Structure 1
Amino acid sequence: MRTRALISAGLALTASALAAAPAAALNGGTESSTAYSFMGSLQRAESPRPDGHACGAALVAPQWVVTVGHCVRNDQGALVGHPHGWKVRIGSTSVSSGGEIIEVDKFIRRPGDLQGNDIALLKLKTPAKGRPIKIAASKPTATTPVRILGWGMTCDELEPKCFPDHLREADTVVQTDASCEDAGIKGTEICVGSVDGKVAPTNMDSGGPAIARAGDGWTLVGAVSGGNPGQPGVYSAVPAFRTWMNDVMAEKQPTLDGAVDLDGCSGSLVKTDTAKPSDPALLLTNGHCVTGDRPAPKSAVVDRAEKRKVTVLDRAGKPKTTASTTKLSYATMTGTDVALYQLDKTYAQLASEGAKMFKLAATGPRQADPIDLIAGGLRKSWTCAVGGVVPELREEGYVLRNAIRYTEDCTPDSGGSGAPLINPHTGLVVGIHNTTNDQGGVCTEGNPCEVDKDGRMSVHKARRYGQQTAGIVPCLTAGSRIDLSSPKCALTKPVS
């Protein structure tokens, strides 16, 4: 794969990182005569610049700013997070004064290889007063006139004289992809600047916009990603990510439709693609939510009599219908923390009563995937995202594999155990909520600890986790039965 230099020091913003990046100025540029209401400077404490500038950015909605993914890199490698001390100055030609400066509440970076997916959104703690820029309807073609903006370095040295306070701009065009071929340009990117690189972005221009005329105003067509010396710059084509950006910015609060209140815990009605309307319905919750003895470590419980009332909720969290469990078909707290109850009603009966049922996803979620958590036991819901996948989670003698770590804004409390984690795009259940480190304890009840792939243990107070449920799918057979002997079923089996 051809590579390119990033036009930002990204994570560390160290002197050595800066020296390795392209050092040509915003060639052909001049100082902007007027401010742009949408133009922003992302400022981070790690910047070597006294003004804190790290990257360019553009306001696309009152509380949302777009930049590039490598501008939000962090020590943890998180794709979603709540940074401390990040801020954006918006609507000024000066990087150190004027306009308005607003703290960053959250960053969301698009998953995938930076080459082709170098885009990120910043949610501001308060709405900006300035007028956002509209995103262009489509990726611009070659020869389209554009203007590029930035506060990138104007010379090679890490000295104040190379850090412009005044915004610079240059008028140029979109080039054919061939002009950026050496930089490994992708289909979601555009090549911007002069062919000889004399008009191009420079170091610390990353995230800065390329804008195109639209009537009397401007539209956003690109954000600086990288480039090579003596060539045009490679920009992420912002219109190519419109759907992803709209989904992130929508932050729709999920309804409680289909959530189950299970006497102190939460749950959901689930099925697979092969389930028949005449099959007994199944209820999914946590293994630690069973009423009898909990499954022992390294073991499971199957076909145990347990009669419990099940209340299925409507969109507003009010009872829609009820059912009863006939037996605990399966439960374990090893590998994953799940329990499946068989109900006294079929899928067809519950559907006729207006109950919503969910299908189980056959694959697990990835980092940064959105998830909706609907907790019937709490009558509350959360819009969250996968903060990471933990190779091993230990708690009170139990070991859980590939646990789902939530982002910091996902805060279900006691009573949310067993709540489904639903991918809002597919509507499929990808996991269930199961635990929180309450006091900062080490691997004790209510205080799970993480173990990474190299065996290093860590403890994170107040961090919350869910368990993946894809492993259930290969174990379900006709008639809502569990077949632990199935070749593809890897669920923990009972100890004889």
Structure 2
Amino acid sequence: MRLRALLAAAVLTISTAPAALAAPGIAHGSDVPPGQFGFVAKLAMTKIPRPDGSTYSSYCTGALVAPGWVLTTGHCFHDAQRNRVSGKTPYPTTATLGLVDEATESGVARKVTEVVQATGSDVALIKLDTPVTTVAPLKLSHAVPKVGQQLTLAGWGSLTGTDPKPATRMQQGTVAVAKVEQATLGVRGAAPDITTSACLYDSGAPYFTGTELVAIEATGPGCPHAGIETTSRADVLATWVAKSTA
């Protein structure tokens, strides 16, 4: 297992996908149709610190859960020693929502000003400098997920390779819940393929049904894969999210 931690230096070390499979987006997924899933945020980070004092750029995915807040994976925001951090955004971060194709759409871009890390889950809320009023947020599900339940995954990730880049067209896929644990869900690819799976830069990507968020991407094997992906349950975070974004 490995974090989809999206660090440029680490990406090359953990790359496992054969070159023939290297295509942008969720592994073995499909293009998101125009006008859908505007709540999915593409997070672009710059000047991320390394222990030696150098910096680099990287990406994550997230979901708009309130007009001024995006929910994502906690490990997307850390210090040079990879410790998760709260408070003022540790490096310049832009969240872009309301688009599926960067070649034809501009979307809605916001600067991230604050990070609030969850306790007991690898999850963080990030505050936007200005609320987004043109995109409907996802509601967090309060129901306990069930084994076999199918969820949609959407994100801006990239398959690993010698020069990984985030997708320029949002990708989607269907997964099925394989196991339910106290704070996490294990999910497996269902469609378009059993190897449909989250990839690099998909950290924080939402798993949802309709307009309800069920989980967010945390970590998993190198993509594509037919194994179990670990996600963070939204229902156990719902009360915390409501209080934090009020």
* One-letter amino acid matched to 1:221: V
Residue in 1 aligned with 2:179?
176
Residue in 2 aligned with 1:37?
38
| Secondary structure, aligned partner of 2:92 | coil
CA–CA separation in structure 1 for the residues paired with 2:4 and 2:199: 6
Q: Pick one of 8, 19, 33 that aligns with 1:14.
A: 8
Which residues in structure 2 correspond to 1:228-307 (within 5 Å)? 228-229=221-222, 230=225, 231-250=227-246
CA–CA separation in structure 1 for the residues paired with 2:151 and 2:142: 15
CA–CA separation in structure 1 for the residues paired with 2:63 and 2:10: 27
* One-letter amino acid matched to 1:102: R
CA–CA separation in structure 2 for the residues paired with 1:139 and 1:125: 33
CA contact (8 A) 1:174 1:193 kept: yes
Which residues in structure 2 correspond to 1:444-483 (within 5 Å)? none
Residue in 1 aligned with 2:219?
226
Q: Does 1:93 align with 2:100?
A: yes
CA contact (8 A) 2:216 2:234 kept: yes
* Dislocated runs of 4+, deviation >6 Å: none
TM-score (norm 1): 0.42
* One-letter amino acid matched to 1:169: Q
Q: Pick one of 51, 56, 61 that aligns with 1:56.
A: 61
Q: Displacement, 1:20?
A: 1.6
Q: Pick one of 186, 202, 205 that aligns with 2:199.
A: 202
Q: 1:19 to 1:139 in 2, by over 3 A?
A: farther
CA contact (8 A) 1:5 1:21 kept: no
| Secondary structure, aligned partner of 1:176 | strand
Q: Displacement, 1:46?
A: 4.3
| Secondary structure, aligned partner of 1:235 | strand
Residue in 2 aligned with 1:137?
142
* One-letter amino acid matched to 1:206: S
Unaligned runs of 5+ in 2: 49-56
Which residues in structure 2 correspond to 1:211-222 (within 5 Å)? 211-213=208-210, 218-222=211-215
- Higher Rg: 1
TM-score (norm 2): 0.81
CA–CA separation in structure 2 for the residues paired with 1:29 and 1:80: 33
CA contact (8 A) 2:185 2:215 kept: yes
Q: Displacement, 1:98?
A: 1.6
Q: 1:18 to 1:233 in 2, by over 3 A?
A: farther
Residue in 2 aligned with 1:122?
126
* One-letter amino acid matched to 2:220: G
Unaligned runs of 5+ in 1: 178-185, 251-496
CA contact (8 A) 2:74 2:84 kept: no
RMSD: 2.4
| Secondary structure, aligned partner of 2:46 | coil
Q: Displacement, 1:61?
A: 0.5
Q: Does 1:81 align with 2:75?
A: no
* One-letter amino acid matched to 2:10: S
Higher relative contact order (CA 8 A, sep 6+): 2
Residue in 1 aligned with 2:71?
66
Q: 1:44 to 1:61 in 2, by over 3 A?
A: same
Q: Displacement, 1:210?
A: 0.5
CA–CA separation in structure 1 for the residues paired with 2:32 and 2:47: 27
CA contact (8 A) 2:62 2:204 kept: yes
Q: 1:22 to 1:8 in 2, by over 3 A?
A: farther
Q: 1:37 to 1:14 in 2, by over 3 A?
A: closer
Q: Displacement, 1:72?
A: 1.3
| Secondary structure, aligned partner of 1:193 | strand
* One-letter amino acid matched to 1:204: Y
Q: 1:191 to 1:46 in 2, by over 3 A?
A: farther
Q: Displacement, 1:21?
A: 5.8
Residue in 1 aligned with 2:185?
190
| Secondary structure, aligned partner of 1:248 | helix
CA–CA separation in structure 2 for the residues paired with 1:222 and 1:240: 10
Higher mean C-alpha deviation, range 149-158 or range 88-97: 88-97
| Secondary structure, aligned partner of 1:247 | helix
Higher mean C-alpha deviation, range 64-73 or range 186-195: 186-195
Deviation per residue, 1:370-427 (Å, 9 max, x gap): xxxxxxxxxxxxxxxxxxxxxxxxxxxxxxxxxxxxxxxxxxxxxxxxxxxxxxxxxx
Percent of paired sites with the same residue? 24
Deviation per residue, 1:469-493 (Å, 9 max, x gap): xxxxxxxxxxxxxxxxxxxxxxxxx
